[in-house]
Structure formats: C-alpha cells, structure tokens
Amino acid sequence: MVLSITLGRLRLKNPVLVASGTFGYAKEMAALVDFAKLGGIVPKTVTAAPRAGNAPPRTVETPSGILNAIGLDNDGLEHFFTHHLPYLRTVPTAVIGNIAGKTEDEFVQMAKRVHEAGQGLAGLELNLSCPNVSGGLDYATDAEVTKRIVRCCRDACPDLPLIAKLTPNMTDIVVIAKAAADGGADAVSAVNTFVGMAIDWRRKKPILGNITGGLSGPAIKPLALRAVWRIAKLKAIPVIGIGGIGTIDDAMEFLVAGASAVQIGTANFYDPTASVRIVEALPEALASLGAKSVAEVVGTLK
C-alpha cells in the first residue's frame, strides 16, 4: 500500500498531519504521540513580533465543537527559530512552519527570514485566515491580496513548498483557492475556523473575551467537506482537508471528496492519539476500496 503523497513540491510519507494551534510546538505532545507515524506536523502560528493574544475566556465548548478566540498568542518568529525549531528539526516527520503577517509586507519579510533561518522545515503554511485577530488578518477573503501575498512569499523563499490556509468565512472559497494557485502555492489547506459566538443569556454577555470566536470540531465537518469538494473540482491545486476530522471514516470522506491530505485539529484535544490511529487504519480502508495507494482514492466521489 502506497501511503506517500505529493502536494506540489512537498512529499509526505502519509496524508495525515496535525493542524496548527492544536498541537503546540510538538514537544508538548511527545509523550502522547508517536511522531514517526504522522505524515507531518504544523506547529502553532508564529507572528513577526510576540503577541499576548486575546482577553480570556478564550475557548468555550459547544454541543459538537469548540469556539476559540486565542488571538495568535505566540512568542514571535525569532523565538521560534531559537527555541522551537532546534527541537522540531529532530522530529522524525515533516514539519511545516505556519506564519501570519500583520501586513502584506510583514508576510514577505517573515518568509524571507524563514528562507534564511528556517532550515529543517519541509514547507511553510501561510495563515491567511485567522478570524480572531483585530485589524483583520483574514486576508483570504480577497483574491487579489491572497494571490499577491502567495506570489511575494513564493519569491522570498523559492525553495520551500508553500501552503495557503484559507478561511471559510466568505461566500466563495473557490475563487481564493484559484488565486492561491495563480500566486504559485503548492497546495491550499481548507478550512480554518468558522466565526461564531456563545452567549450567557442570564448575564446578557458574550462568553468569549473577544465576543466572537472560531468554531471547530465535528460541527464543521460537513461544511469543510463541501468546501474541499468544491476546491478539488477546480483541479487547479492540491487540497489539504481540515475540519472536524477525528476518525478514519472522516479522513476517508475528505480523500474521496478530493483532499490529497488531511489535518487533524480539535480531535487532538479530546483524543491526542486520533491522528496516529487514522494513519494505522488507512491501509485497510484504502484496500476496502480496491486501491493500492492514497492517490487512487483522492477525488473519486461519483
């Protein structure tokens, strides 16, 4: 069974990655997860300067998912290079860095720094889609801006496979996926969280300090599946499916819908071994469809 896949210039040993913001900088999960089994790890988004993130509460549980408004709490790119990357270079799987710029230019400057100091990263995911940051880091609602950022980051770090992470918080995600392809991205990842809110009606107050937050987990799986299916039909760029994936059945649905790979997010919080179990169950699930490789199943929806 061939589990390896290619996403543009990025080759992974299998199609199961863990999603940014749900797996720390990997070290935190080392006692729980056998990294060698994973197709890849995407550490938490880093920004150019350290960010304190949003006021608490930052997360709230909903009936079938969580709302979060972390606000990109992180220690900044240089801290990532000095404190996290040395460890990440030692993990026995692909590590895809994840960055977010405050401005278009900041994205490009960060990509340049990754080119200079990011040795050991297998690729770079551009978080064009965080819904929880004031000042609008939701770049992936504008096709021209998306294309420009991807193109400039592409030029700034020419050797590194680039993934554009898209927001579902817009009318037509397909237009943005096309723009990322035109900008030279190797793949798009879809989706980030859906903006929502939770209210304490007795106090007549929003529960999250940020008022709104991003919904993730099982609740969003059907929405994410549709987004991935629509982008994949374009046949313009490989898609990494994200949204509510926690079991082998979820992962197979995304592959059949057209995702070449998947990322596991919220499931890491309630079941840190979900990603490894999905990898282990993959050969049998593929064989049950008569396939000898992951690629044979991708986009086979009738």
- Between CA 275 and CA 33 the distance in angstroms is 9
Which one is catalytic: 130, 152, 153, 157? 130
131 closest CA partner among 68, 180, 75, 177: 68
Give the other-Cβ count within 10 Å of 82's Cβ.
Answer: 11
14 scored as a contact of ligand FMN (CB under 6 A):
no
Q: Is the CB of residue 270 less than 8 Å from the CB of residue 245?
A: no
> Which residue in 131, 196, 217, 258 binds ligand FMN (CB under 6 A)?
217
Nearer to ligand FMN, 14 or 193 (CB): 193
Tokens for 215, please give them: 């919904």
> Which residue in 19, 160, 180, 185 binds ligand FMN (CB under 6 A)?
19
216 scored as a contact of ligand FMN (CB under 6 A):
yes
> Which residue in 70, 153, 164, 276 binds ligand FMN (CB under 6 A)?
70
84 scored as a contact of ligand FMN (CB under 6 A):
no
154 scored as a contact of ligand FMN (CB under 6 A):
no
Helix, strand, or coil here: 229?
A: helix
Nearer to ligand FMN, 108 or 164 (CB): 164
Question: From residue 168 to residue 207, what is the string marking binding to ligand FMN with x (rule CB under 6 A)?
Answer: ------------------------xx--------------
Residue 171 identity (one-letter amino acid) = T
39 scored as a contact of ligand FMN (CB under 6 A):
no
Task: Enumerate helices (H) and strands (E) in the chain, giving the number of each.
Answer: 9, 16
Q: Is the CB of residue 144 less than 8 Å from the CB of residue 182?
A: no
Residue 165 pairs with which residues in a beta bridge?
A: 127, 189
Residues catalogued as catalytic: 130
